[in-house]
């Protein structure tokens, strides 16, 4: 009975998100290269965001979960293309100094 009432998933998720925060903080306190630091930040940020959406904002639990997931994927695709495209245009291949 108690086992069913105990929000096991949420507590685990909370602990996990604390761990992710701690890992991200390492970038500040440890001495590492820009590339490694950025990679850690990006990876932890995306896992963190997913955790929040699915576990704490209940993205997959309602009837319209399809609409929710479609808009999340749509937004992610647009964001990734916009960022990569901007980097490509403004930094990686920009020819005027």
Task: For the CB of residue 36, give the shortest distance to another protein in the complex, in Å.
Answer: 24
Q: Which two tokens stand for residue 59?
A: 């993205």
Q: Which two tokens stand for residue 92?
A: 């990686």
Considering only residues 20 to 79 of the shown chain, the ones binding another protein according to CB under 8 A are 64, 67, 71, 74-75, 77-78
Complex with another protein: residue 39 or 61, whichever CB lies closer: 61
Task: For the CB of residue 55, give the shortest distance to another protein in the complex, in Å.
Answer: 24
Residue 69 and residue 88: Cα distance in Å, rounded?
28
Q: How far is CA 83 from CA 29, 48, 70, 80, 86, in A?
A: 27, 20, 20, 5, 5
Residue 48 and residue 90: Cα distance in Å, rounded?
29
Give yes or no for residue 5 binding another protein (CB under 8 A): no
What is the total count of residues that contact another protein (CB under 8 A)?
18
Residue 67 and residue 85: Cα distance in Å, rounded?
27
Complex with another protein: residue 6 or 81, whichever CB lies closer: 81
Q: Which residues bind another protein (CB under 8 A)?
A: 64, 67, 71, 74-75, 77-78, 81-82, 85-86, 88-90, 93-96
């Amino acid at each position: 009975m108690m086992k069913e009432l105990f929000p096991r998933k949420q507590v685990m998720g909370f602990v996990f998100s604390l761990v992710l925060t701690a890992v991200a903080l390492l970038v500040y306190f440890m001495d590492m290269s820009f590339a490694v630091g950025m990679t850690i930040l990006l990876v932890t940020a995306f896992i963190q965001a997913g955790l929040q959406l699915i576990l704490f904002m209940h993205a997959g639990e309602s009837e319209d979960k399809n609409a929710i997931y479609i808009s999340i994927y749509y937004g992610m695709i647009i964001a990734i293309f916009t960022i990569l495209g901007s980097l490509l245009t403004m930094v990686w291949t920009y020819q005027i100094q």
